[in-house]
Amino acid sequence: MAIEKYSNKGLGEAKWSFPPVHPEGRKFAVIAAVITLFFALMAWETLAWPMAGITAWVLAFFRDPKRVTPLDEKYIIAPADGLVSLIVPVKPPVELQGEGGLADEEMMRVSIFMSVFDVHINRTPIEGTVKRQAYISGKFLNADLDKASEENERQHFLVERNDGLKVGFTQIAGLVARRIMSFVKEGDFVAAGQRIGLIRFGSRVDVYLPKGTTPNVVLGQRSIAGETILAVVGEMKEIEGVGQ
* Catalytically annotated residue among 7, 17, 85, 203: 203
Q: Among the ranges 21-30, 64-73, 137-146, which has the highest mean pLDDT value?
A: 64-73
Q: In 3D, which of 192, 198, 237 has the Cα closest to residue 3?
A: 192
Residue 76 β-bridge partners: 231
230: Cα within 13 Å, side-chain hemisphere = 35
Over range 203-223, report the average pLDDT.
94
Residue boundaries of the structural domains of the chain:
23-61, 75-232
Model pLDDT, residue 139: 62
Model pLDDT, residue 151: 65
- Please say if the pLDDT value at position 145 is more than 80: no
CATH class of 75-232: mainly beta
Tell me if residue 17 is catalytic: no
pTM of the model as a whole: 0.87
Over range 211-238, report the average pLDDT.
95
Q: Cα–Cα distances in Å, from 195 out to 22, 100, 114, 161, 164?
A: 11, 24, 16, 17, 22
Over range 95-116, report the average pLDDT.
93
What lies within 8 Å, CB to CB, of 39 at 6+ separation is 45, 47, 48, 51
